[in-house]
Amino acid sequence: MSLYSDYLSLKAEKTSGQFSVYVDDEKMSLASTGIIADTVRMKPDALLCLPSGSTPLGTFDMLCRMQEEGDISFARSRFMQLDEWLSLEDESENCQHFLEKHFYHRAGIRAGQIYCFNTHAADIREECLKADAYLEAEGPVDMMVLGIGMNGHLGLNEPGISWTLKTTEVVLSDTTRSVGQKYFSERTTLTRGMTLGMTHILASKHVLLQISGAHKADIARQLYTSGPDIRLPASALKTHSDAEILMDRGAASKICL
């Protein structure tokens, strides 16, 4: 059996509106992989946006396996960067490198298929406008894959940020500065970032938010019970007509679906 046929026979344990719960992280990743695969199968040159983080690692692995099994091809796919740390002394563990290491390299994605932010630009505002211009010409994003921060952020859109922004420079919250340490092998000072703003996220044709693990149960419950509220960036997805929120049992453990 191929992974794609496993996906076709996969059922969520529970579904309510935008929210679906899967038995474990592996099944949540398989469902996510299948949804992304369907986008690429229908539109081989789809514009995809993938997040850094531990949550999507299972999905990255399965996307590569599906390609290796011949059920999808990323040969014509295009990729837009979601977010990036700014002012790092050593950039070898930044978001761009994270995705290269965990997905692009194994998937055989060429540099020309990826739109990356230039963190060395003299004027980051100009760099944000460049990303906006790229999305104006090549977008919107067909498939926006996201994780949720412990504080509810999406990309680096921190709590309280305006939802009318396009690509923007941000000052990182204390939570992101400390949780973000997990990406680095040595203590790293995190202060600023650059992110696609909520305007681009909400303009995406399809959004897939993955939430995995019991440590995300509180923020998942807040998201489930909240209406759209700028203090909880992920709640913006409640205004999107094609946003799906996939959780594993651990993340859903404080929600009664």
What residues make contact with ligand PGA under the rule CB under 6 A?
Answer: 53-55, 147-149, 153
Is residue 257 within 8 A of residue 248, CB to CB? The reply is no
Catalytic residue selected from 94, 127, 142, 151: 151
Residue nearest ligand PGA by beta-carbon distance: 53
For this structure, is 151 an active site residue? yes
CB of 215 to ligand PGA, least distance (A): 8
Please say if 206 is a catalytic residue: no
Q: Which residues of 19-29 are buried (b: 16+ CB within 10 A; e: fewer)?
A: bbbbeebebbb
- Looking at the Cβ atoms of 4 and 176, the one nearer to ligand PGA is 176
Instruction: State the Cα–Cα distance between residues 75 and 69, nearest whole angstrom.
Output: 14
List residues bridging with 137 in a β-sheet.
Answer: none
Residue 119 or 195: which CB sits closer to ligand PGA?
Answer: 195
The secondary structure element, H or E, covering residue 51 is none
Active-site residue, selected from the candidate residues 158, 200, 240, 248: 158
Give the E-state strand segments of 35-177 in sequence order. Answer: 47-49, 78-80, 83-86, 114-115, 143-147, 167-171
Residue 25 or 127: which CB sits closer to ligand PGA?
Answer: 25
Q: Is 158 a catalytic residue?
A: yes
Q: Apex CA 69: angle with CA 68 and CA 73, to 5°?
A: 60
Indicate which residue of 84, 102, 153, 240 is catalytic.
153
Nearer to ligand PGA, 35 or 150 (CB): 150
Least distance in Å: CB of 113 to ligand PGA? 23
In 3D, which of 221, 227, 228, 225 has the Cα closest to residue 247?
Answer: 221
Q: Please give the positions annotated as active site.
A: 83, 151, 153, 158
